[in-house]
Structure 1
Amino acid sequence: MKLHKKDNFSRRNFLKTSALASGGMLIGFNLLTACKPEAKMPVDIASLNFNDFNAFIKISDEGYVTIFSPNPEIGQGVKTSMPMIIAEELDVDWDKVNVAQGILDTKNYTRQVAGGSQSIRQGWDALRQTGATAKQMLVNAAAAKWQVDASSLKASKGIITNTSGEKLTYGDVVKEAALLEVPENVVLKDPKDFTIIGQEIVNVDIDKIITGKPLFGLDYKAENMMIAAVLRPPAFGQKLVSFDDSKAKNVSGVKEIIKFEDKIAVLASSTWAAMKGKKAINANWKTDSKAESTEEHDKLLTKILDGKGLDVRREDGNVKKAFSAADKVVEKTYHSPFLPHNCLEPMNFYANVTPEKVHLVGPIQTPQWTVNRVSKLLNRKEEDILCEMTRMGGGFGRRLYGDFALEAAEISSLAKKPVKVVFSREDDMTAGTYRPAIKYRIKAALKDGKVTGYHLKEAAVNGNMYGLIPNFFPAGCIPNYKVESGNYKSNITTGAWRAPYTNFLAFAEQSFFDELASELNIDPIQLRLDLLQNVKNTTDKRIEYSGERMEETIKLVRTKSNWGNAKNGVYQGFSAYYSHNTHVAEVADIELVEGYPVVKKVTVAVDCGIVVNPTGARNQVEGGVLDGIGHAMYAGFSFKEGVPQSKNFDSYRLIRMNETPKVDVFFVDSNKSPTGLGEPGLPPAGGAVANAINTALSKRLYSQPFINEFEKSKILS
C-alpha cells in the first residue's frame, strides 16, 4: 500500500490530477458505474438525477457514477484503460461501467492531448489517486452517517459495509460526501489486490463502432450545416493567381464559393456536391518558392552527411581515435522516404462562428492548442470558444496539427454559417503533413572483437532528431560514441508520424548491428546482450533506457521465438528497441514463396510495466508491428516539382490482409508503473524483417520500401 500526502491533495490538485492530462497520448474518460448490484444499466442515463461530486465525477441517487473523460480518443484504447484504473481504486463493478467523452475544459483539466504514448504512463498515479480519493470521501460520508470510524468500513463494487453488516451504496452518501474535505491521505491498492486492472476488457466503444453509431467527426451533423470542400495549391511552393468558378456555381447543391488565403472553399448541401463543385473550378497558380523533387532531396541530404554543418547531440570518449586504432571500420548509409498518414477517416472538422461564441467539433489530437490558434486567427477570446471532441478514425500524428480545424473556423467566419470541412482521400494525401525523408550514416570501429567506436549522422528534411534519441541504445554501451544531426529546410510540410523519430532510425541501427554481428562472427542477439552489460549499472542520468529491462525483454523473445532453432525453410531476424518509455524486442520469421520473402510470424516481447488491459495492449502491439512491416516493405512517397506523386491507394502501396503475419505478443511480468504502447511496437518491426530477409537471401537492405530494393537489385528475378 502507498500513502499520498496532503500536499499532493488540495481540492484543486484533486480536480487537476484527476483530469490526468499530463502526457502525450492522453485519452479522456467518462466512467458510469451502477453501484447497486441488483441495478441494471439504464438505456438512457441522461434522465437520471445526478449530483455533482466534483469537476469529474457525478453520482446519481440510484448509484450510477459518471466520470467525464477530458482527452481525445484516437483508437489507442485509453478510453477503456484509463477508466479501468479509476474503477479499480474507486472499487466499482466494471460490468456496470459506461464510458463517454468530455469537452475541452482548460479550467479543470490539464494537457488534453493525444500523442506520444504517454497517457497511461503520465496518468497512472493521478488516476489511481482520483479513484482512491473519491472512494475515501464516500466512505467518510458513510462513517459520519453511521457515527463510526471510517477505518472500520469496507467498500467493494460500489457498496460500503460496516461491521454489523449494514450496507450503503455510493448513491446513498454522495450528497454528504461532496461536502467533505479532501482526505489528507489516501491508500492505494497493492497490485496483487487488483480485480479490474490486468483483466481482458473489450473496447468500450466497440458496439457503437461495429453497428455504425455516430462517434466520429464525419458522423457529426448540425442544423443548417454546410459541407465545405477546399481547393488547395496542387504543389508545395505555389500560390493562387486567379480562378473561374462559373461552372462550379452551376453544380446542383453548391451554395457559395469563398476565397481565403491561397485556397478556395466550395460550400454545398452535401459532400458530393461540394467535391464536385471543387473539381469544376478552373484555377491558375504560380510557383512562389522553390518546387522540390525527391531526387533533389536525396542529393541534398547526402551533401549534409558529407559536410561539416552537423550539430553534435552527444559525444562520449574519442571517436576519431577509436576509428584510427580500429582493426576494421564498418560504414553504411540508410534512406527512408516521405510518408503520408492516411488515416482511415480523412481530415474533417465542424465550426460555427457567431458573434456570441465559436463552436468547434471534430477529431483533434490537440484541442487546446487548436483553440488557441483559432482564438488568434479570429481575434476571439479563448473563453468564447467551445471545443467538443469526437472519436478519431486514426491519427498517427496527423491530427496534432489542426490545419483542417482552422480552415473550418475561417470559412465559417467568412460565410457566417455553420460549416464542416471534409477532405477527400486525395486531399488527405496531397495536402498532408508528412514524415520527413531521412538519411542515416552509421560508422563503427571494431577492435579485438569488440565494438569500440560508434558514429551516427542524421540528415532529415526539416529536421527529425529528438533530444532524447542520442541517449537511447547504444548510448552508454560503447565507450567512444557520437551522434550528429542536420537538416534541409523545405516548404513541404512535415511532422510527427507514428513513433516519431524512431520509426526509421530503429531499422537503420538494428540492421547495422546485425552487420556488426556478422563481422564479429557472433550471434546477433548475443551481441546486443554483450553491449548491454556496459550500461546495466550506469550512473549516467542522460541514459533513457534500462539495460536490465532491455536484457530481460530480449531474453524473453529469444525463448518465445525459438531463436536459432527454426524449422527448415524458416529464416529469422531479430531487432530490439526502446522508445516512448517502453522496451520491445521482436523476431520475424519469413519463408520464401516462389523465391519471394513472406513474413509468416512475428514474436514480440514487451516490457511496459503493469499491463492495465491485456486485450487493448495486445491490440496496440499487433497494430504497431503490422504498421511497421507494411510501411517498411511497401510504402513509398515522392514529389516532383513540389507535386505529390501519389494521390490515392491505387498508387500508394499499403500492406494487404493476406500479407499480414501472425503476431505473438508476450509481456514481461512487472509491478513497475505502466508505460506507453501505441507506438513502441512499430520501430523494431522493419529491422526484424530486414534482418530475416538477409538471413534468407544474403541481401542487405538499406532503403525503404524494401520492395523497391528488390526491384533494383533484381534478386527476385
Structure 2
Amino acid sequence: MNLSKQQTFSRRSFLKTSALASGGMLISFNLFTACKSDVKPPIDISQLNFNDFNAFIKISDEGKVTIFSPNPEIGQGVKTSMPMLIAEELDVAWEDVYVEQGKLDTKNYTRQVAGGSQSIRHGWEPLRQTGATAKQMLINAAAVKWGVDASECTAKLGVITNSKGETLGYGDVVKDAALLEVPEDVTLKHPKDFTIVGNGAGNVDIDKIITGKPLFGLDYKEEGMVYASVLRPPAFGQELESFDDSKAKAIPGVIDVITIGEKVKDYYKQDEKSWTAQISASNKVAVIAKTTWDAIKGMKAIKAAWKNESPLESTENHDKILFDLLDGDVFKTRRSDGNVKKAFAQADKIIERTYEAPFLPHNCMEPMNFFANVTKDKVHLVGPIQTPEATAIAISSFLGRAIEDIQVEMTRMGGGFGRRLYSDFVFEAAEISNAIKKPVKMISTRENDMSTGVYRPSTKYRIAASIKDGKLTGYHLKEACINGNMYGLIPHFFPAGALENYQVDTTHYKSNITTGAWRAPFTNFLASAEQSFFDEIAEALGVDRVQFHMDLLEKVKQNPNPNIDYNPERLQDVIKLAVEKSHWGKTKAGTYQGFSVYYCHNTHVAEVADITMKNGLPIVEKVTCAIDCGIVVNPLGALNQAKGGVIDGVGHAMYSDFAFNQGVPQSNNFNTYQLIRMGQTPQVDVHFVKRDVAPTGLGEPTLPPVGAAVANAIYKATGKRLRKQPYINNLNLEKVIG
C-alpha cells in the first residue's frame, strides 16, 4: 500500500484505519454484518409517508412511529428513555419506533433543559400523557370507522382490535385520528403492565455513533459556512490591549481577523442572573478561516498584548482567603435548629475538621463549539447546549432581535457536566456571524477549553460536632467558597432532621475566575466532606459506622416535623442493600472497606468502596452502589449512568487537581491534568431498590457519595484521614500521570 499519498480520515473510518499509525494489523469489519451476513440496513424512514400527529409523534401509513425527544442529550440517555415513556403509553412495538432530536419549541415542549438530573422526573407524567392521549385518539378514530363505541376497542403493539376481533393498524387510522378532538382525560398504565419501561433499550444513536454519522455539534455543516477560532485572555483578570494580526492574515485559508466581546461586556453588566454573571466578559480576537485548522493556526499566530484590569489571583491566595473566611464571622445562616452554641458549650468533647476541594474544569470530550447564521430574517443557531431556551432568550436580548427570530437546534453533546449550561460560546458564534454576515462554526481547542472556561469553585468546609454523655448533640457546618455555590448549600439534606441542634452557614469570596455548575453542583464535594466526617464521629463514639446512620434515620422518622428533602426509610433501604451486596465487614484480608450514603437530585444512594494497597498505593478495586431512584425506565441506560457517575467520582476525588497562578490556569491539557485512567477504574456493582413510584434523577446522584467511601476505606488501610482532594496528592505519594 502506498502511504505517501495524502489521506483524509473521517470518524466513520477511524475504527478501520487507526491501527495503521502503529504499524499493527489492520482489521476491517462492518459492525452491522460482523455477526450475520444477511443483516439488512435500517429502513429508510425518509421514504415513508408520515403524518404529524402532534409535536412529539409522527406515524406513517405503514405504522412506523417517529418520536421526538425534546430535551438535550448529553450522554445521560434521555433521547432513549424519554421516547420510551411515550411509546409505552402509545402501545407500539419499540422496534417500530424511530427517535429524532426535537428542536427548541417553547409552545409545545416544557423544560427543555439538561441539568439537575431532572429530565425524566419532570417528563414522567407529561410524556406518558402524550402517548396515552395519542393512543386514545387512534382508538376513537377506529371506533368511528367501525361504528362502535370506543370502549369496545383495545390497542396493543400498534394494532387496534374491537369486540368482534376486527383489527386496524395505527397507520390505517392516523389521518382520521389527527383530526379528532383531543380527549381531556386518559388512563395511564399501571407499572405492572409496562412492556417497554423497565426493559433495557439500547442507545437510539448507537449505530450512528459507531459508524461516524453526523450527530455532534462538531459534525454540523452548512453550505458556505466558515470557521472561527477565538483568542481569549490568557489570565483571568486581563483585558485585550492591542494585537498584531499580520502573521495570521498571511496564513493561506485565513479570511479575516476581528475583535469581539465589547457588546457582550455591556450585556453582562445589565444581566446579573446566575446563568451569565459568572461568565468572563472581555474583548477577544476571532480568526475566521476556510477550515478549522486554518482558523486555529491563525489564532495561534496572533501576537496580542494584555493589560491587567483586576487582580490576578492564585490558588495559594484563595486558600488563605477561604481559611480567613471560615475563621471570621461573616456568614449567611441557611438553617438553624435548636441551639448549636449552647450544645457546644455543654459538650464533653468537640470534634472539628476542615475539608478542602480544588477548582475543577469540565473537560467534555467534545470541546465547546457552535454554529450561528445571523441574517435579516432569522438567527439560526445549531449545536451542543444544555439550556436552549435560556440561550435563545439571551441571544435575542444580546442582538436586539425578536425572540421569534431565534431558532435553536440541538445536536447530541460529547459531554456537558454543567459546562454547557452556559452560553458564552454561543454568544461568540452569534457575534462573529453578525459581524461578518456569514454562517460560521466557532470551535475551541482543548487548550482553549480547559484554560478559558468555567470551573467548579474551590471550596472549603469546616464541620464541628458536639458530644455529650456519649451522644452526638450538635452539628455545625460552615462553607467558604470561591464565588459561592450556584444554589447555595442545601440545608435540608441528611443529617437535617436527625439532630435537635443543627446549623448550616455559608460565605464566599467573589473572584474574577469564572465558576459554575459542575456535575452534581455543590454536593459533589459536600457529600465527601460530610460522610468522611460522620465516619470520624462514629469512631469517636465507638459505634458501627452503618448502625450510626441507621439510628440517626430512626430519629428522623420519630421527628413529627423534620423539614427535610430526603426520605429516611428510603435512605435506610439503600444502606441495607449496599451492606448486603458488598458483604460489609466480611471481606478477605487485605481488602479495606469504606461506607457512605447520600441523597441528592431526589435520589437516595449508598456506596461501599473496597480498596487494596499495592506498592504503597491505594487501589480502588470495587464500589458497590445501591440506588433508590423509583421506577427505572431504561435499566441498561440506568446501569451505565450509575457506573459512569461512580467512576467519575472516584477519578476526581483521587487524582484531579487544578490551580491558578496569577490568574493563569496551570494545566491546559491531559498531559498535566489527570483524569482517571482505564487501569485505575474500579469494578462497579450496581443494585436498584425496586419501588413502583415515579422515577427521580440518576445522571448525578452516584457521584457525590463515592469520595467519602474511598476516603474512609483508605483510612482503614493506612490510618490516615484524607480531608483534602485529590487524595493521591495528600497521601504524600508521587502523583503519576499516564
Q: Specify the TM-score bucket, using the shorter chain as the normaliser.
A: over 0.9
Aligned to 2:74: 74
Aligned to 2:591: 570
Given the alignment of the two structures, is residue 164 of structure 1 paired with residue 164 of structure 2, yes or no?
A: yes
Given the alignment of the two structures, is residue 437 of structure 1 paired with residue 461 of structure 2, yes or no?
A: no
Shift of 1:55: 2.6
Task: Tell me the alpha carbon deviations over residues 551-582 of structure 1, each in whole angstroms, 9 at most, x when there is no partner.
Answer: 01100100000001111110000001000000
Do the aligned residues in 2 keep the contact of 1:41 with 1:96 (CA within 8 Å)? no
Aligned to 2:210: 210
Aligned to 2:296: 275
User: How does the TM-score come out when normalised to structure 1?
Assistant: 0.93
Given the alignment of the two structures, is residue 301 of structure 1 paired with residue 322 of structure 2, yes or no?
A: yes
Aligned to 1:220: 220
Q: 1:407 aligns with which of 428, 431, 452?
A: 428
CA distance in structure 2 between the aligned counterparts of 1:184 and 1:426, rounded to whole angstroms:
54
CA distance in structure 2 between the aligned counterparts of 1:190 and 1:677, rounded to whole angstroms:
22
Do the aligned residues in 1 keep the contact of 2:242 with 2:305 (CA within 8 Å)? yes
Task: Tell me the alpha carbon deviations over residues 511-532 of structure 1, each in whole angstroms, 9 at most, x when there is no partner.
Answer: 0000011101111111111111
Alignment of 1:4-403 (within 5 A): 43-261=43-261, 262-403=283-424
3-state SS in 2 of match to 1:535: helix
CA distance in structure 2 between the aligned counterparts of 1:712 and 1:595, rounded to whole angstroms:
8
Aligned AA (2:225): M
Aligned to 2:694: 673
CA distance in structure 1 between the aligned counterparts of 2:138 and 2:562, rounded to whole angstroms:
42
Q: 2:615 aligns with which of 580, 594, 609?
A: 594
Comparing 538-547 and 402-411, the one that deviates more: 538-547
Do the aligned residues in 2 keep the contact of 1:582 with 1:680 (CA within 8 Å)? yes
Task: Tell me the alpha carbon deviations over residues 331-352 of structure 1, each in whole angstroms, 9 at most, x when there is no partner.
Answer: 0000000000000000000001
CA distance in structure 1 between the aligned counterparts of 2:331 and 2:184, rounded to whole angstroms:
53
Instruction: Calculate the aligned-residue CA RMSD, in Å.
Output: 1.4
3-state SS in 1 of match to 2:101: coil
Task: Tell me the alpha carbon deviations over residues 73-120 of structure 1, each in whole angstroms, 9 at most, x when there is no partner.
Answer: 110001111111111111000111111111111222222111100011
Aligned to 1:700: 721
Aligned AA (2:590): G
Shift of 1:324: 1.2
Task: Tell me the alpha carbon deviations over residues 299-352 of structure 1, each in whole angstroms, 9 at most, x when there is no partner.
Answer: 111111111110000000010111111121100000000000000000000001
Q: 1:631 aligns with which of 652, 656, 666?
A: 652
Aligned to 2:11: none
CA distance in structure 2 between the aligned counterparts of 1:118 and 1:439, rounded to whole angstroms:
27
Q: 2:575 aligns with which of 554, 575, 590?
A: 554
Do the aligned residues in 2 keep the contact of 1:350 with 1:362 (CA within 8 Å)? yes
CA distance in structure 2 between the aligned counterparts of 1:713 and 1:70, rounded to whole angstroms:
47
Comparing 181-190 and 486-495, the one that deviates more: 181-190
Aligned to 1:579: 600
Aligned to 1:11: none
CA distance in structure 2 between the aligned counterparts of 1:374 and 1:85, rounded to whole angstroms:
32
Shift of 1:42: 6.3
Shift of 1:54: 2.2
3-state SS in 1 of match to 2:449: helix
CA distance in structure 2 between the aligned counterparts of 1:642 and 1:542, rounded to whole angstroms:
42
Do the aligned residues in 1 keep the contact of 2:81 with 2:633 (CA within 8 Å)? yes
Task: Tell me the alpha carbon deviations over residues 161-202 of structure 1, each in whole angstroms, 9 at most, x when there is no partner.
Answer: 112211001111112212222223211111111111110111
Do the aligned residues in 2 keep the contact of 1:611 with 1:674 (CA within 8 Å)? yes
Shift of 1:468: 6.5
Comparing 445-454 and 675-684, the one that deviates more: 445-454
Task: Tell me the alpha carbon deviations over residues 190-247 of structure 1, each in whole angstroms, 9 at most, x when there is no partner.
Answer: 1111111110111111111111111000011111111101000000010111100001
Task: Tell me the alpha carbon deviations over residues 453-502 of structure 1, each in whole angstroms, 9 at most, x when there is no partner.
Answer: 00000000000173561100000011100000000001111000000010
CA distance in structure 2 between the aligned counterparts of 1:700 and 1:713, rounded to whole angstroms:
18
Do the aligned residues in 1 keep the contact of 2:463 with 2:476 (CA within 8 Å)? yes
CA distance in structure 2 between the aligned counterparts of 1:642 and 1:399, rounded to whole angstroms:
23
Do the aligned residues in 1 keep the contact of 2:596 with 2:709 (CA within 8 Å)? yes
CA distance in structure 2 between the aligned counterparts of 1:367 and 1:476, rounded to whole angstroms:
38
3-state SS in 1 of match to 2:728: helix
Aligned to 2:703: 682
Label 1:688 to 1:486 Cα distance change in 2 as closer, same or farther (>3 A): same
3-state SS in 2 of match to 1:536: helix
Do the aligned residues in 2 keep the contact of 1:468 with 1:544 (CA within 8 Å)? no
Aligned to 2:494: 473
CA distance in structure 2 between the aligned counterparts of 1:275 and 1:184, rounded to whole angstroms:
55
CA distance in structure 2 between the aligned counterparts of 1:101 and 1:46, rounded to whole angstroms:
15
3-state SS in 2 of match to 1:114: coil
Aligned AA (1:469): I
Label 1:429 to 1:588 Cα distance change in 2 as closer, same or farther (>3 A): same
5+ residue gaps, structure 1, are 1-39
CA distance in structure 2 between the aligned counterparts of 1:208 and 1:107, rounded to whole angstroms:
30
Given the alignment of the two structures, is residue 647 of structure 1 paired with residue 649 of structure 2, yes or no?
A: no
Shift of 1:537: 4.7
Given the alignment of the two structures, is residue 517 of structure 1 paired with residue 566 of structure 2, yes or no?
A: no
Aligned to 1:500: 521
Aligned to 1:25: none
Do the aligned residues in 2 keep the contact of 1:231 with 1:278 (CA within 8 Å)? yes
CA distance in structure 2 between the aligned counterparts of 1:465 and 1:384, rounded to whole angstroms:
31
Task: Tell me the alpha carbon deviations over residues 346-401 of structure 1, each in whole angstroms, 9 at most, x when there is no partner.
Answer: 00000011111111110000111111111112111111121111000000000000
3-state SS in 1 of match to 2:367: coil
Do the aligned residues in 1 keep the contact of 2:556 with 2:562 (CA within 8 Å)? no
CA distance in structure 1 between the aligned counterparts of 2:471 and 2:201, rounded to whole angstroms:
47
Do the aligned residues in 1 keep the contact of 2:607 with 2:626 (CA within 8 Å)? yes
Do the aligned residues in 2 keep the contact of 1:304 with 1:459 (CA within 8 Å)? yes
Comparing 106-115 and 566-575, the one that deviates more: 106-115
Aligned to 2:276: none
Comparing 260-269 and 507-516, the one that deviates more: 260-269
CA distance in structure 2 between the aligned counterparts of 1:95 and 1:59, rounded to whole angstroms:
14
Aligned to 1:9: none
Shift of 1:430: 0.7
Aligned AA (2:698): L
Aligned to 1:533: 554
Comparing 137-146 and 547-556, the one that deviates more: 137-146
3-state SS in 2 of match to 1:395: coil
CA distance in structure 1 between the aligned counterparts of 2:118 and 2:78, rounded to whole angstroms:
10
Task: Tell me the alpha carbon deviations over residues 16-61 of structure 1, each in whole angstroms, 9 at most, x when there is no partner.
Answer: xxxxxxxxxxxxxxxxxxxxxxxx9963212322222223222222
Aligned AA (2:146): W
CA distance in structure 2 between the aligned counterparts of 1:529 and 1:542, rounded to whole angstroms:
19
Comparing 172-181 and 660-669, the one that deviates more: 172-181
3-state SS in 1 of match to 2:454: coil
CA distance in structure 2 between the aligned counterparts of 1:563 and 1:185, rounded to whole angstroms:
49
Do the aligned residues in 2 keep the contact of 1:458 with 1:465 (CA within 8 Å)? no
3-state SS in 1 of match to 2:523: coil
Shift of 1:539: 4.1
User: How does the TM-score come out when normalised to structure 2?
Assistant: 0.90
Aligned AA (2:228): A
Label 1:541 to 1:369 Cα distance change in 2 as closer, same or farther (>3 A): farther
Comparing 532-541 and 82-91, the one that deviates more: 532-541
3-state SS in 1 of match to 2:479: strand
3-state SS in 1 of match to 2:555: coil
CA distance in structure 2 between the aligned counterparts of 1:505 and 1:308, rounded to whole angstroms:
21
